[in-house]
Each structure stands twice: as C-alpha cells, then as structure tokens.
Amino acid sequence: MEKFFNDDDWNYEIDLDEDCQSTRQELLILTSRAPVKFTNPRNCVVRSGMWLDEYTGDEFEIANKMDIDHIIPRLYAHSHGGDAWPAQKKTQFSNDPINLVLTGRKETRKKNQKGLARYLPREEFICEYVALWKIIAERYNLDIHQRDKNIISKRLTTCQSTID
C-alpha cells in the first residue's frame, strides 16, 4: 500500500559536500553561461549569472527568478515505486544532478508533478528531456505509467530518425 507523500521525506537542496552551497547553488554555479556573483563573501548563495531555461528557451540573469525542477517529479517517483525507498535513496533521487534542470518559476508551476503524457518542454529540448526520463526511470527502477513509456518509445524513435 502506497504511503502518503511527505515532502520532508524527500530531502532536497541540502549541502551534501558541506561547502556551504546547497544542491541548488551548485547547479546554478555549474550551469551559468557567465561568471556568477554571490550574495556574500563566503560564496554560499548565488545572486546572478546567465542561465537558459531548457523548458522554454528563456534566459535569466537573477538566480532567485529560477527554480530547480526535478525532471521526474518527486511525487511521481513516490507514486511509482519510490514510496518504498529508504530515506537515503529519496535524498539521493531529490539531489541527483541528472534529474535536475533550471527553469523559470512559471514553467515549473505549469509542469508541476506531471508525467510525460501531460507535459513536454519546447521542441528543441524534447529529445534530451525524454532520454533523461528514460535514464532516470531505469536508474531508480521506477514503474512508470504505460502512457509515459509509450511517449518515451515514440519520441526516442522520432529523435533517432532526425539524427540519422
């Protein structure tokens, strides 16, 4: 029987390497297309840089205008096998860089906890997005909806044909 989803069980934006930068800050630093500026001399919190919203193609310069989105949402993972995971695996999933992408707040709200059958990003990012869904679902042994499996199969076939 599936347990009720509790956001606190899916520990996110923690400082795994204890360098004062949370997962969010490290992703902002790693993905900025320009040198980042910090809010304090310890360089713990990013203030500005240059980021691309992979979902929409929009660019952002102010860090607090960006959200970090889980490609496979935590609630979706919870509902597809993650409810039985130990706390450590939930934390790993929540902070796994392969499952994280920067996006504007509006688009994060639009996507929310949706699977592939209910949300896809802009055309230029669909192939990568769907491939990441497949990789993440396999890595964490998620039992995803058949309709989402169908989208993966269809889209990856289409993506492969555009490469060939």
DSSP 126-137: HHHHHHHHHHHH
pLDDT in tens, 123-140: 999 999 999 999 999 999
User: d(Cα 79, Cα 126) in Å, to the nearest integer?
Assistant: 23
Number of neighbours of residue 84 by Cβ within 10 angstroms: 9
Residue ranges of the chain with per-residue pLDDT less than 70: 1-2, 162-164
Q: Position of tokens 């309709």?
A: 147
Q: Which helix (H) or strand (E) holds 154?
A: helix 146-163
pLDDT in the model for residue 160: 81
Decide if 138 is inside a domain: no
DSSP annotation of 25 reads H
Decide if 63 is inside a domain: yes
Q: How many domains does the chain have?
A: 1
pLDDT in the model for residue 162: 67
Decide if 144 is inside a domain: no
Q: Please give the residue range of the domain that contains residue 54.
A: 7-115
Decide if 143 is inside a domain: no
pLDDT in the model for residue 17: 84
Q: What is the pTM of this model?
A: 0.91
DSSP annotation of 62 reads E
Question: What b/e string do you get for 105-115 counting C-beta neighbours within 10 Å, with b at 16 or more?
Answer: eebbeebebeb
Decide if 93 is inside a domain: yes
Decide if 127 is inside a domain: no
Decide if 111 is inside a domain: yes
Decide if 54 is inside a domain: yes
